[in-house]
Amino acid sequence: MNDRRVVVVINRDEEVRSLLRTTLGEAGFVVHCAATGEAGLALVRAKQPDTVTLDLVLPDINGYEVLRRIREFSHTYILIITARSGLGATLKAFDAGADDYMVKPIRPRELRARVDGMLRRPRQLTVPPIVTPRQAPLTSPRLRAAAKAKAMPAPAPARGLEVAQGAVAPGVPAAKGLAAAQGLPTAQGHPTAQAFEHNGLEINWATRAATLGGRALQLTRTEFDLLYILLQRGSGVVSKAELVGLLGLAKREAGTMGGGNAAARDPGRIVETHVGNLRRKLGDDARQPRWLKTVRGAGYTLA
């Protein structure tokens, strides 16, 4: 049985395709290449790859449009490989659903490291799992012993509608920040409750309340969403790039580009600011953390 990982390379440049085919092939991938956006979309549908490398400049379709179309039917990891180094292009790619962004020239060791890094990240849903009284909430093994799962029945979905991964059930709204990251709709009504506990820190999705040792924490919307993502991920590392997308920071910062020195703001640095604010409100020490741990060069996880 062939369990080798599959990658689809979408790039207009034959030399770049050859370099990527060789580099990724030597790293153990089955590599499929396309020179146009349409051909690349067809390969992604047919091969269901583990990851995709995508150029932003293609002869037939804009690379951003290819990215958006892939995200309509696939959760594959997408690495942008392009000559465009500007902040605007980077933000636009993350906002459209990219997982990582690499500027040419291509360095084979860096390419392999970036692809391996993406594939080590567990996929994070952009909405909380739908929980019923008969279904335990999804928690990591690390949190399972300490997690407290509380369920409230949600209104019955309309006939013929099914709750699928990434979909929002009727009466079960997505969090505004997380939903906005992927353009998901929000619904009216009460969400199914889900609560986590870790080292005395409790967070409840339904009430959007966070407490530490019984004391209420005054968190902003972004701080709450960031904390919820990390608690839900458990021992998995969440990269800054992934948090930028899930929290909708790319779109938010792009909307502020017209004023002052906002054009120089980096959403990745803004994630660092939110993490720093959370640590301050938790009384956490970055050097000996109890809750939020920085994994150098990778992102954040629970301590």
Q: Do 275 and 175 share a domain, yes or no?
A: yes
Q: Do 169 and 279 share a domain, yes or no?
A: yes
pTM of the model: 0.46
Report DSSP letters for 91-130, one per residue. HHHHHHT-SEEEESSP-HHHHHHHHHHHHHSPPPPSSPPP
Q: What is the pLDDT of residues 75-99, one digit of tens each?
A: 889 999 998 888 888 888 888 888 8
Q: Do 202 and 68 share a domain, yes or no?
A: no
* Residue 208: CATH number of its domain: 1.10.10.10
Q: Which one-letter amino acid corresponds to residue 68?
A: R
Contact (CB, 8 A) for 244 and 252: no
Q: Do 20 and 113 share a domain, yes or no?
A: yes
Residue-level length of the chain: 303
pLDDT of residue 192: 37
Q: Which of 120, 150, 181 is the last residue of a domain?
A: 120
Tally of CB atoms within 10 A around 139: 21
pLDDT of residue 87: 82
pLDDT of residue 250: 66
Q: Could you give the CA distance from residue 279 to residue 102 in angstroms, rounded to a whole number?
A: 30
| Domain annotation covers residue 212 | yes
Q: Do 177 and 30 share a domain, yes or no?
A: no
Q: Could you give the CA distance from residue 67 to residue 55 in angstroms, rounded to a whole number?
A: 10
Q: Do 104 and 199 share a domain, yes or no?
A: no
| Domain annotation covers residue 40 | yes
pLDDT of residue 21: 95
125: exposed, middle or buried (C-beta count within 10 Å: 0-12, 13-18, 19+)? middle
| Domain annotation covers residue 125 | no
Q: Which one-letter amino acid corresponds to residue 19?
A: L
The total of structural domains in the chain comes to 2
Q: Do 91 and 216 share a domain, yes or no?
A: no
| Domain annotation covers residue 42 | yes
| Domain annotation covers residue 133 | no
Angstrom distances, CA of residue 287 to CA of 61, 118, 303: 47, 26, 11
Q: Which H or E run includes 6?
A: strand 6-10
pLDDT of residue 46: 93
pLDDT of residue 171: 31
Report DSSP letters for 220-284, one per residue. -HHHHHHHHHHHHHTTS-B-HHHHHHHTTHHHHHHTTTTSTTGGG--HHHHHHHHHHHHHHHHT-
Digit-by-digit pLDDT tens for the chain (303 residues) are: 346 789 999 999 999 999 999 999 999 999 999 999 999 999 999 999 999 999 999 999 999 999 999 988 888 899 999 988 888 888 888 888 888 899 989 999 999 988 988 887 655 433 333 333 333 333 443 444 344 443 334 333 333 323 333 333 333 333 333 433 333 333 333 333 378 888 888 888 878 889 998 899 988 888 888 888 888 877 778 888 888 888 877 665 555 444 444 434 577 788 888 898 899 999 998 888 898 989 888 889 888
Lookup: tokens for 225:
């969403």
Q: Which of 68, 87, 120 is the last residue of a domain?
A: 120
Q: Which of 85, 120, 155 is the last residue of a domain?
A: 120
| Domain annotation covers residue 65 | yes
Lookup: tokens for 257:
């580009």
* Residue 33: CATH number of its domain: 3.40.50.2300
Q: Do 107 and 172 share a domain, yes or no?
A: no
Q: Do 211 and 286 share a domain, yes or no?
A: yes
Q: Do 217 and 102 share a domain, yes or no?
A: no
| Domain annotation covers residue 135 | no
| Domain annotation covers residue 136 | no
Residue range of the domain that includes 23: 6-120
pLDDT of residue 254: 52
pLDDT of residue 6: 94
Q: Do 291 and 253 share a domain, yes or no?
A: yes
Q: Do 181 and 75 share a domain, yes or no?
A: no
